[in-house]
């Protein structure tokens, strides 16, 4: 009797990320040989990358809704027209006109049965109630949602001015963006609002000496007929209590002319001597802004935003008042900023300087300020867990790594950690440990609990060919806490996402944005959830990890897995079926194909199957499989027939759409019949 070989089923977990260097024969099957616009989940799997959309504070494209209006159209109606009911109390923008319906967005009111109009002209009759989100199929629902998002998107404008976004930051639930003005003569600070970007008035400053203790924020400054409101009293030397001091006032609302050298008074008995005329607070154009939020006051509501850009003085901002910070440097233009041990640190070339303790305005030795030479151009700061007793400050230079231990100028101890490993500017972050991009690749600096010992390693060896092609063009980086990711971005739009699980690296994948990142911020927003915003070269600020598209453009993606020999690299297998595990929450479509025998032309090319899945509200362990569609057939979408006999197989998934939210390919179960060994 002929013995029929049994069908073997083997699970194939998708994990590991991109690998371009390991020989195919020894490469674990979960890795990607090539891939774009997919990211690794904390627990593995390859997720189609999330989208991004333009942002200004107006209603977001991702919040767009649509409604289906049952109607009879008898007159001229075009996409983009505003449709109103007969009474003029309800209106909406037309995004699609299928037979017997008008699909609307930006809807106000409820359409009543009766005539409907465009610009006052009757164009049809409403014969049924509007139904929000009531498309006939999941595919149409995805289409209508995307069309509605486009209408919202077109209402969002650039940050006014010229050139790229120079800096973007989230502070106190408001997004701030810096861009050169239209003439390129100054950089301007803007904030988001419900009507779009609004320029922030920076006020004026004026020097003073010998102010008494009755000069306070909020007072009215008076000198003859000239008055102004004191927005901030900035004491740089001495104290108000002593009456012997120097400093500056930040003022707003000046009236009656210009101030001059000489005596002045403040509300409530304040006296002081002004050093001359006021000067407008401005920013020279073309800097690259970096930020840190910190609470030096210790009380509620005193957390402020600190920034610098390499061309201007550093500054403090509390949401209303911007205070330039004078450090006393001849060229007072710090490039990096970090609050550490309740002192404000700035980087000037190869020099680190810090303020007095809890005193970001004072930069004199007597108040505890100090300068620390680093011997190499500083590329960034990073806070570290230095020991089981105290945190430390990592100082990354272009070619060195230094660790600053201690608490203040009385006990600082700067320890050289590495004379060979440094960092590229704007790539230094902390996620479970310090991470940065260096000439050698992506570097980790793992901390231990033993008195601040550190251990580093290059962790990007698997993607060296791809990374080397972009290395010199690194421009920005961030972490994504909810995804345990480090992200580094490059001029031209490329990015690499590295996912951690604890301190273990899950892998690295490559992303390609049509709108390149020029600067980025990643911080907690009003809801407590993390929010990511980036500025690009076209003047737009975008919110990242939101929506279904790259600001309206399709997200094209692919994930080509490494060849899998299922533990027997020299044994032929007759492949029968692939069962793919998918998680997600919305409708999506993608294509699937495969290669066998290392893709040799000895075997016929595999067909490409287009898969359609509706994952709304579903989880992997609760799918109703026969309610889904695979290649147009009503059957379990987890199963796809495979034909061919070879020693191994590689799966390839891909798609391109502006309509679908992310979903995750977790793994597959491959069914095959073992055959003879290769000779």
pLDDT at 515: 98
Residues 346 and 323 sit within 8 Å (Cβ to Cβ): no
pLDDT at 559: 96
pLDDT, one tens digit per residue, over 399-448 is: 999 999 999 999 999 999 888 889 999 999 999 889 999 998 999 986 43
pLDDT at 628: 32
Q: What percent of the chain is modeled with pLDDT above 90?
A: 78
pLDDT at 526: 79
Quote the strand ranges of 186-267, DSSP E: 187-191, 198-199, 204-209, 220-223, 226-238, 245-255, 262-266
State yes or no: pLDDT of 629 exceeds 60.
Answer: no
pLDDT at 611: 59
Q: Is the pTM of this model over 0.85?
A: yes
Q: Which residue ranges make up each domain of the chain?
A: 8-47+556-677, 58-153, 204-280
355-390 b/e (C-beta count within 10 Å ≥ 16 → b) = bbbbbbbbbbeebbbbebebebbbbbbbbbbbbeee
Contacts of 243 (CB under 8 A, 6+ apart): 210, 211, 212, 213
State yes or no: pLDDT of 451 exceeds 80.
Answer: no
Could you tell me the end-to-end alpha-carbon distance of the chain, in angstroms, rounded to an integer?
Answer: 26
Mean pLDDT, residues 221-228 taken together: 98
> If you search the block for the tokens 């050289």, which residue do you land on?
416
Q: Quick one: the chain helix, strand, coil %, rounded to 5?
A: 5, 50, 45
pLDDT at 551: 98
Helix residue ranges per DSSP H, 387-539: 464-468
The pLDDT-based confidence of 620 (bands split at 50, 70, 90) is very low
Task: Report the run of H or E that residue 572 belongs to, with start and end.
Answer: strand 571-584
pLDDT, one tens digit per residue, over 124-150 is: 999 988 999 999 998 899 999 999 999
pLDDT at 389: 54
pLDDT at 299: 73
The pLDDT-based confidence of 198 (bands split at 50, 70, 90) is very high
| Domain 8-47+556-677 of CATH type 1.20.120 | no
pLDDT, one tens digit per residue, over 68-93 is: 999 999 999 999 999 999 999 999 99
Measuring CA to CA, which residue among 465, 419, 418, 417 is closest to residue 441? 465
């Amino acid at each position: 009797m002929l013995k029929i070989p049994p069908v073997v089923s083997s699970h194939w977990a998708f994990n590991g990320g991109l690998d371009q260097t390991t020989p195919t024969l020894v490469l674990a099957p979960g890795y990607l040989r090539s891939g774009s616009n997919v990211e690794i989940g904390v627990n593995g799997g390859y997720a189609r990358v999330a989208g991004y959309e333009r942002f200004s504070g107006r209603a977001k494209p991702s919040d767009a809704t649509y409604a289906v209006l049952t109607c009879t159209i008898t007159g001229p109606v075009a996409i983009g027209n505003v449709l109103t009911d007969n009474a003029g109390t309800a209106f909406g923008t037309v995004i699609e006109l299928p037979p017997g319906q008008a699909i609307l967005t930006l809807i106000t009111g409820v359409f009543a049965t009766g005539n409907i109009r465009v610009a006052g002209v009757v164009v049809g009759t409403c014969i049924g109630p509007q139904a929000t989100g009531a498309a006939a199929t999941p595919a149409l629902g995805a289409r209508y949602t995307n069309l509605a998002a486009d209408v919202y998107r077109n209402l969002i404008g650039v940050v006014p001015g010229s050139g790229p976004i120079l800096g973007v930051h989230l502070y106190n639930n408001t997004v701030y963006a810096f861009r050169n003005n239209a003439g390129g003569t100054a950089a301007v600070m803007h904030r988001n609002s419900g009507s779009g970007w609004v320029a922030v008035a920076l006020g004026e400053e004026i020097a003073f000496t010998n102010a008494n203790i009755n000069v306070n924020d909020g007072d009215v400054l008076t000198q003859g007929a000239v008055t102004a409101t004191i927005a901030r009293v900035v004491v740089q030397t001495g104290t108000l209590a002593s009456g012997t001091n120097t400093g500056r006032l930040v003022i707003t609302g000046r009236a009656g002319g210009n101030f001059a050298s000489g005596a002045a008074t403040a509300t409530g008995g304040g006296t002081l001597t002004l050093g001359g005329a006021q000067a407008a607070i401005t920013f020279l154009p073309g800097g690259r802004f970096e930020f840190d939020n910190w609470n030096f006051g210790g009380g509620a509501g005193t957390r402020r935003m600190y920034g610098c850009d390499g061309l201007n003085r550093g500054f403090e901002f509390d949401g209303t008042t911007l205070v330039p910070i004078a450090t006393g440097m001849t060229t007072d233009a710090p490039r990096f900023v970090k609050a550490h041990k309740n002192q404000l640190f700035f980087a000037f070339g190869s020099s680190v300087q810090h303020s007095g303790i809890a005193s970001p305005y004072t930069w004199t030795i007597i108040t505890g300020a100090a300068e620390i030479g680093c011997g190499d151009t500083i590329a960034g700061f990073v806070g570290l867990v230095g020991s089981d007793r105290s945190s430390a400050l990592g100082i990354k230079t272009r070619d060195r790594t230094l660790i600053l231990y201690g608490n203040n100028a009385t006990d600082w101890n700067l320890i050289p950690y590495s004379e060979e490993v440094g960092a590229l500017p704007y790539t230094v972050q902390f996620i479970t440990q310090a991470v940065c991009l260096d000439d050698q690749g992506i570097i980790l600096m793992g901390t231990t609990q033993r008195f601040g010992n550190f251990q580093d390693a290059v962790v990007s060896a698997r993607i060296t060919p791809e990374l080397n092609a972009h290395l010199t063009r690194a421009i920005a980086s961030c972490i994504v806490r909810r995804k345990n990711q480090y992200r580094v971005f490059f001029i031209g739009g490329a990015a690499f996402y590295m996912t951690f699980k604890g301190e273990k690296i899950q892998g690295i994948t490559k992303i390609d944005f049509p709108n390149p990142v020029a600067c980025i911020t990643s911080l907690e927003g009003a809801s407590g959830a993390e929010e990511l915003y980036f500025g690009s070269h076209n003047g737009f600020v975008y919110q990242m990890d939101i929506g279904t598209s790259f600001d309206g453009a399709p997200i094209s993606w692919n994930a080509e897995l490494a060849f899998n020999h299922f533990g027997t690299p020299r044994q032929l297998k007759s492949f029968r079926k692939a069962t793919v595990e998918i998680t997600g929450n919305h409708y999506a479509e993608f294509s699937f194909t495969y290669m066998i025998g290392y893709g040799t032309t000895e075997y016929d090319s595999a067909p490409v199957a287009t898969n359609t899945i509706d994952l709304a509200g579903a989880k992997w362990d609760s799918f109703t499989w026969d309610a889904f569609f695979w290649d147009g057939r009503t059957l379990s979408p987890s199963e796809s027939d495979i034909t061919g006999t070879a020693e191994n197989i590689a799966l390839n998934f891909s798609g391109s759409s502006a309509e679908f939210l992310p979903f995750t390919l977790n793994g597959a179960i491959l069914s095959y019949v073992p055959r003879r060994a290769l000779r």
